[in-house]
């Protein structure tokens, strides 16, 4: 006990000073973490390169988004059952019909899996490596894809995995000499060579993923459908297409839908592999393959978490904003990505029966994560954020936490409060280690007790 109260007062004063200094510091930190805005000099530079596109927020036209919770005929969606049974299928069908197209088959009857490589001592004992050929029809001369899988070596129980398509062949994701070198079509126009082994490894931090207890599965997207317009003569299209009077239907699947369909076939394999936990498969994709991951996650609810990395137009970004890449531009540069009906919305975004926030909403109740990059104005970071914001009412209706923030966060300030995650990081268009670490944090958060926390 203090006999005189001078030291008590002094102590009180000191504590008050400390609290004050602390909260002032916090306040200035909050101030320093300003909500993201496109940097003027980047907008100026982008405009100089491509004058016809919008790179300034003030030039974004006024628009009204379709309400994910109002049926096309006008009825309000008032409960979870109505969402599940009526509105979700309706939105999915609108995306099939007007945006990505319709896959003519699900799991083909004759499909086979052949494990052609199994090494339990891969990457210096850190991993089990498997390579599997998925032959879509079971006929030798028909298209097939190779899945490369690394599982954490120490895993005693089925491992959760991340699955993503890659741009350059499985052999580009890691220098491991045992990965089969792709002999297929390459974007470069040349056949793959030994020199390209591991050339994209910066985007696939395999060892770090394994160390966090996750496996990684990847497939070369060109195995499923080479990424150029040849009127759908190669890849899986001609094998499964159902022509009407010799013609493809206006809602026949484009390449994005074919790639997404291939990911579902990979999921069929995961279900058959006892070392993989098929209830904890996270699907991820970058750029055009981010658009693909979103469509794959929407059409196939077996994917537990869906992640879009810099997916932009036709992915997470709102089309109606016309910021950066537009519907017309994407349909012109890549006429094979979407279905033919999507071309009707060139310069007519406001007539689209959907916008991309509704694609995000199709993931509900599952967790979904969208990531943007500061310099990636072509992909419209704010439009990607706003898709998340506008998908939130569906999570609310289901009684789940969504994004839980109103404004775009500051750079490098990931939002992972609820089932919709978002970040915008420093730098340009790309899949980086920073992104991966955030995605693993997000997955950790939602995979509690070995299953998706409900
Ligand atoms: C760009 C395209 C984007 C994005 C990107 C990519 O040329 O305009 O929509 O998908 O390619 O996939 O790398």
Residue 291 CA, ligand 1 centroid: distance in Å:
10
Q: Mean pLDDT over residues 169-187, rounded?
A: 96
Rounded Cα distance between 10 and 247, Å, is 87
Peptide bond into 365 cis (omega under 30): yes
| More confident position, 69 or 22 | 69
pLDDT of residue 29: 46
E strand segments, 108-182:
112-121, 127-135, 144-152, 159-166
- Identify which of 138, 224, 133 has the alpha carbon closest to the alpha carbon of residue 180: 133
Helix (H, G, I), strand (E, B) or coil at 299: helix
**Model confidence over 290-332: pLDDT tens digits?**
999 999 999 999 999 999 999 999 999 999 999 999 999 999 9
Q: Mean pLDDT over residues 273-302, rounded?
A: 98
Rounded to 5 degrees, what are φ and ψ at 147?
A: -100, 130
- Identify which of 232, 303, 67 has the alpha carbon closest to the alpha carbon of residue 294: 303
- Any idea which residue has 């499964």 for tokens? 240
Residue 364 CA, ligand 1 centroid: distance in Å:
26
Pocket test for ligand 1, best of 49, 100, 295, 325 (most atoms within 8 A of CB): 325
- Residue 443 predicted with pLDDT over 70: yes
Q: Whose CA is nearest to atom 13 of ligand 1?
A: 287
Cβ neighbours of residue 131 closer than 8 Å, sequence gap 6 or more = 115, 116, 117, 146, 147, 148, 149, 170, 179, 180
- Residue 435 predicted with pLDDT over 50: yes
**Model confidence over 365-378: pLDDT tens digits?**
999 999 999 999 99
DSSP string, 70-121: B-TTS-B--SHHHIIIIIHHHHHHHHIIIII-B-S-SS-TT-EEEEEEEEEE
Confidence band of 33 (pLDDT split at 50, 70, 90) = confident
Pocket test for ligand 1, best of 287, 309, 377 (most atoms within 8 A of CB): 287
**Model confidence over 103-152: pLDDT tens digits?**
999 999 999 999 999 999 999 999 999 999 999 999 987 899 999 999 99
Q: 449's torsion region: left (phi>0), alpha (psi -120 to 50) or beta?
A: left
Residue 172 CA, ligand 1 centroid: distance in Å:
19
pLDDT of residue 147: 98
Confirm or reject: Cβ of 312 under 6 Å from ligand 1: yes
Catalytic positions, written as ranges: 287, 429
- The secondary structure element, H or E, covering residue 372 is strand 368-373
Q: Is 200 exposed, middle or buried (0-12, 13-18, 19+ CB in 10 A)?
A: middle
Cβ neighbours of residue 215 closer than 8 Å, sequence gap 6 or more = 149, 150, 151, 152, 155, 159, 160, 161, 162, 209, 276
Contact at 8 Å (CB) between 168 and 196?
yes
| Torsion sign over Cα 426, 316, 449, 164 | negative
**Model confidence over 186-228: pLDDT tens digits?**
998 899 999 999 999 999 999 999 999 999 999 999 999 999 9
- Residue 9 predicted with pLDDT over 60: no
Percent of the chain with pLDDT over 90: 89
């Amino acid at each position: 006990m203090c006999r005189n109260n001078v030291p008590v007062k002094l102590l009180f004063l000191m504590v008050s000073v400390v609290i004050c200094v602390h909260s002032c510091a916090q306040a200035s930190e909050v101030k320093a973490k300003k909500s993201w805005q496109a940097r003027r000099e980047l907008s100026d530079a982008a405009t100089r390169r491509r004058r016809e596109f919008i790179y300034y927020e003030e030039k974004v036209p006024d628009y009204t988004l379709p309400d994910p919770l109002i049926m096309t005929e006008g009825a309000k969606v008032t409960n979870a059952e109505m969402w599940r049974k009526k509105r979700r299928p309706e939105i999915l069908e609108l995306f099939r019909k007007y945006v990505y197209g319709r896959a003519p088959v699900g799991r083909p009857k004759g499909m086979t899996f052949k494990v052609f490589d199994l090494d339990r001592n891969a990457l210096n004992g850190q991993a089990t490596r498997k390579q599997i050929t998925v032959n879509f029809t079971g006929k030798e001369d028909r298209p097939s894809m190779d899945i490369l899988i690394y599982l954490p070596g120490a895993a005693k129980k089925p491992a959760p995995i991340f699955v993503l398509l890659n741009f350059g062949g499985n052999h580009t994701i890691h220098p491991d000499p045992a990965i089969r070198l792709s002999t297929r079509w390459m974007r470069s126009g040349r056949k793959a060579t030994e020199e390209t082994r591991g050339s994209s490894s910066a985007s696939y931090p395999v060892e770090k993923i394994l160390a966090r207890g996750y496996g990684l599965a990847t497939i070369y997207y060109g195995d499923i459908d080479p990424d150029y317009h040849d009127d759908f003569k190669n890849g899986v299209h001609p094998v499964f297409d159902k022509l009407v009077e010799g013609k493809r239907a206006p809602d026949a699947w484009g390449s994005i839908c074919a790639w997404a369909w291939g990911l579902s076939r990979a999921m069929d394999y995961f279900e058959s592999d006892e070392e993989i936990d098929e209830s904890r498969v996270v699907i991820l994709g970058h750029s055009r393959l981010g658009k693909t991951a979103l469509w794959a996650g929407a059409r196939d609810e077996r994917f537990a978490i869906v992640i879009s990395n810099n997916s932009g137009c036709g992915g997470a970004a709102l089309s109606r904003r016309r910021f950066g890449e537009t519907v017309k531009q994407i349909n012109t540069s890549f006429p094979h990505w979407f279905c033919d009906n999507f071309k009707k919305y060139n310069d007519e975004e406001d007539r689209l029966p959907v916008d991309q926030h509704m694609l995000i909403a199709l993931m509900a109740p599952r967790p979904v994560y969208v990531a943007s990059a500061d310099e990636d104005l072509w992909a419209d970071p704010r439009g990607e954020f706003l898709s998340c914001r506008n998908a939130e009412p569906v999570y609310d209706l289901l009684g789940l936490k969504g994004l839980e923030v109103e404004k775009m966060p500051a750079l490098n300030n990931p939002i992972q409060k609820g089932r919709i995650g978002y970040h915008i990081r420093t730098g340009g268009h790309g899949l980086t280690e920073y992104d991966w670490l955030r995605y693993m944090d997000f997955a950790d958060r939602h995979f509690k007790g070995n299953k998706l926390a409900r």
